[in-house]
A and B are shown apart, each in its own frame.
Chain A
């Protein structure tokens, strides 16, 4: 069965520092992987997705993620954090049946300190 594990429920960085949010997946088939962001009282917004093309995926707002099959990881990074990046981040994997069902991790809250 597909699953996603996000390491660290809370991550705190200083403004301008590197952001690294960790995601490991388990999948019985080549996975499709996603990162979503959720701002307070809003729905989820897609940051980026991996669908078996380039292993380094660039998304919106300066975020990127690298698919590493050997490590079963899909970590999200941003070189320099902005205050506006403070939000909840979810990693997700598409189910093995490719039905569109997304299996989400528990989320990581990113705090950005001035």
Chain B
């Protein structure tokens, strides 16, 4: 079974440029998460999807961040414009059922963003 796929794995951009990250969850997983992981820190949730609906986006900085999950499968996270402080690893995860709280979240390898 394929795991969570993310691309690109690495991205280097200049500040004020836009950037997008893509995530393909494990087949059949209805719940998808985007996390932000700063260096030396644990991941922090940005947004959670149940199928195509964003059910928790309270931590997403909506002035510059946006996300979508069309058709309830793949998801894209966008930053526009990027700032120096956005340099971090962006992790995507998925889980298989409605009982997310005790279910394993399967993480992708992440996209490491460097903003110059």
Instruction: Report A's interface with B, CB cutoff 8 A.
Output: 4, 9, 32, 36, 41-46, 49, 51, 90, 92, 94-95, 98-102, 104-107
B106 to chain A, nearest CB (A): 8
Contacts of A51 in B (CB 8 A): 102
B6 to chain A, nearest CB (A): 8
A114 CA to B101 CA, complexed, in Å = 38
Query: Would A94 and B102 count as touching, CB distance under 8 A?
Result: yes
Query: Would A46 and B105 count as touching, CB distance under 8 A?
Result: yes
Which of A41, A45, A105 interacts with B42 by CB under 8 Å?
A105
Q: Is B40's CB within 8 Å of the partner chain A?
A: yes
Contacts of B100 in A (CB 8 A): 98-100
A100 CA to B103 CA, complexed, in Å = 8
* Interface residues in B, total, Cβ within 8 A: 27
Q: Is B14's CB within 8 Å of the partner chain A?
A: no
Contacts of B45 in A (CB 8 A): 101-102
Known contacts A41-B109, A43-B108, A100-B31; is-contact A49 B102 (Cβ 8 Å): yes
B41 to chain A, nearest CB (A): 6
A107 to chain B, nearest CB (A): 5
A90 CA to B100 CA, complexed, in Å = 18
Contacts of B33 in A (CB 8 A): 100
Contacts of A98 in B (CB 8 A): 100-101
In the complex, chain B residues 13-40 whose Cβ is within 8 Å of any chain A Cβ: 31, 33, 40
CB 8 Å contact bits of B92-116 with A (1 = contact, 0 = none): 0101000011111111111000000
Contacts of B82 in A (CB 8 A): none
Contacts of B93 in A (CB 8 A): 43-44
Query: Would B48 and A101 count as touching, CB distance under 8 A?
Result: yes
Query: Would A99 and B102 count as touching, CB distance under 8 A?
Result: no
